Amino acid sequence: MREATAGAEAPLAIVAREWTRIGATGFGGPPAHIALLRKLVVDREGWMDHHAFEDANAACSLLPGPSSTQLAIFCAYRVAGWPGAIVGGLGFIVPAVVLILALSVVFLSGSPPDWIRGAGAGAGAAVAAVAVRAGIDLLRPSFARARAEGGALVRWGAYGAAGGVAAATIGPWLVLVLLGCGTVELLIRRAAAGVGTPSAPALLALPKAALAGGLRDLAPLAPFAIVTTGTVGDLVWTALKVGALSFGGGFVIVPLMQGDAVHVYHWMTNAEFLNAVALGQVTPGPVVATVAAVGYGAYGIGGGLLAALVAFLPSFSFILLGGGRFERLRGNPLARGFLAGAGPAAIGAILGSAIPLAAALTEPWQFLVLAAAAVALLLARRGVVPVLLGAGAVGVVVALAGGALP
C-alpha cells in the first residue's frame, strides 16, 4: 500500500474550483461523489493512482461520518497539503449547506404558499421509500462480506435486526446501539484471535452534559429560533452524532436526527422533518448537509450554520490529524472488526427508519405517492432525485386542486 503524504501538486485556486464544481454538481449521493472524484484526481489529472484512490476510499468507509466528504477532503489533502484539505473540503460542502439553508427558509419558516407546502408534502411522502432503497443498496455487499466470513452471518443478521428495531422505536438512542454492536463484534474477534479484550470504547461514556454545559453561552442565538425546547448544546449533540458517531452511509443520519428533532426537542414537526430529508436528497453534495435544515428549525440561520459546522468538523479532523497514517486504517483489525458490527446495525437502522418516516404521513394521497415511489425506486430502479421531484410535482397539483395538506 502506498504511503499517504501531503503533496503540493495543485494550486489552491484549482482545488477550490474543482472541488466546488463537484460539490455543486454532485447529485446522486456518495456513489456519484466518488465517481466524480476518481475521474478528477485519477483519470484526468493523475494526482493519485488508482490503487491509492481505492485504498483511501476503503479507509474512509471504516470511519464514522460522511465517507464521501472524507474522501473529498483526503484527495484535496493529497494534492495540496493541509491548506488544500481545508479549501477543497469547504468547496465540496458549502454549496450543499447554502442550498439547504436557502430552501429551508422557503419550506420551513412562516407560512409558505400552499403550492410550496404541497411540494414538500409530496416529496416528503416518498422519503420512506428512499430509505428502503438506500438500505437495500448497502445490504447486498454487506451480506456478501458476512457470508464470506462463515460464522459471522448469524451475528450480521442480529446486528442488522438490532439497528432496525432501534431506529423504529428508540431513535434518539440509536447511536448507543451502533456503538454497542461494533464493540461486541470487536470483542468477539479479539477473543477468537486469542487477544485480550480491551476496555469499552470511551465513546460510550461521551459526556453529553459537558457538551451542553460548555456551550450555554451561545444562548443569544435563541431569538432567531423558530420552535425550540432544547438548548444549543442539545443541537450540538445531535449534530455531533450525525458527524462523528454515524456508520454505514449518509442515510443513517435520518433516524439519528428524527428522534431529537421531532420527538425530543420539538424543533420540527414530522411534516417539516420529511421536507428536510427530501431537500437533502434533491440537492447536490453530501447528504449530511441535511443537518443544517434541522439546525435551522431549531435556531434559524445561525443554528443551521452551527449544526453544519459541528457535523462536518470531525471529517476534517480525521483527515488532518491522521495525516500520513490515514490509509493504514484499511488494514487495521480493530477498525475492521468494529465496523463489521456497527455497519450491519447501521444498515438495519436505515431500513428501520422507513417505519417512523411512513408513520409520519397524515393524508391519504401521501400514501399513494409513497406506494408509487416504492414501485419506481425498488422495482423500476429509477433515480432518487427524479422520483422525489416527481412526488413533489404531485403534491403541487394536489395543493392547487384544493386537496388536504399536512
Quick: pLDDT tens for 166-190.
Answer: 888 887 788 888 888 989 988 988 8
Which range has the worst mean pLDDT, 115-129, 139-153, 204-218?
204-218
Read off the C-alpha cell for 118: 404541497
Query: Under a CB-based contact definition with an 8 Å cutoff, are residues 80 and 88 in contact?
Result: yes
Provide the phi-psi class of 363: left if phi over 0, else alpha when psi is between -120 and 50, else beta.
Answer: beta
Q: Which of 52, 70, 94 is the last residue of a domain?
A: 94
pLDDT of residue 217: 33
DSSP letters for 86-134: HHHHHHHHHHHHHHHHHHHHHHHSS---HHHHHHHHHHHHTHHHHHHHH
Res 345: pLDDT: 87
Residues 226 and 283 in one domain: yes
Same domain, 321 and 392: yes
Same domain (yes/no): 153, 48:
no
- The answer to whether residues 119 and 71 belong to one domain is no
With a pLDDT cut of 70, the percent of the chain lying above it is 85
**Does a structural domain hold residue 191?**
yes
86 and 102 fall within a common domain: no
Q: How confident is the model at residue 25 (pLDDT cuts 50, 70, 90)?
A: confident
Residue that finishes a domain, picked among 40, 60, 94: 94
Q: Does residue 304 sit in the same domain as residue 162?
A: yes
* d(C-alpha 68, C-alpha 317), whole Å: 15
Q: SS3 letters for 183-216?
A: HHHHHHHHHHCCCCCCCCCHHHHCCHHHHHHHCH
Within-domain flag for 155:
yes
Query: Do 228 and 243 belong together in one domain?
Result: yes
State yes or no: pLDDT of 403 exceeds 50: yes
| Residue at 178 is within a domain | yes
3-state SS record for 31-69: HHHHHHHHHHHHHHCCCCCHHHHHHHHHHHHCCCCCHHH
pLDDT attached to residue 184: 92
Shared-domain flag, residues 88 and 111: no
Higher pLDDT, 336 or 79: 79
Q: Tell me the C-alpha distance between 268 and 292, whole Å.
A: 13
Mean pLDDT of the chain: 82
* 3 domain-assigned: no
| Residue at 71 is within a domain | yes
215 occurs within a structural domain: yes
User: Total domain count for the chain?
Assistant: 2
Domain end call among 44, 65, 94: 94
Specify if 2 maps to a domain.
no
Based on the fold, state whether residues 65 and 101 are members of the same structural domain.
no
The rounded radius of gyration (Å) of the Cα atoms in the chain is 21
Quick one: which of 77, 384, 144, 52 has its CA closest to 250? 384
Expressed as residue numbers, the domain containing 345 is 95-400
Q: Looking at the structure, do residues 75 and 132 belong to the same domain, yes or no?
A: no
What confidence score (pLDDT) does residue 360 get? 87
Query: Which pLDDT score is estimated for 281?
Result: 82
pLDDT single digits (tens) 93-132: 999 999 999 999 988 877 788 888 898 889 889 888 988 8
Q: Note whether 132 and 52 are same-domain residues.
A: no
pLDDT at 223 over 50: no
Looking at residue 8, what DSSP letter applies? Answer: -
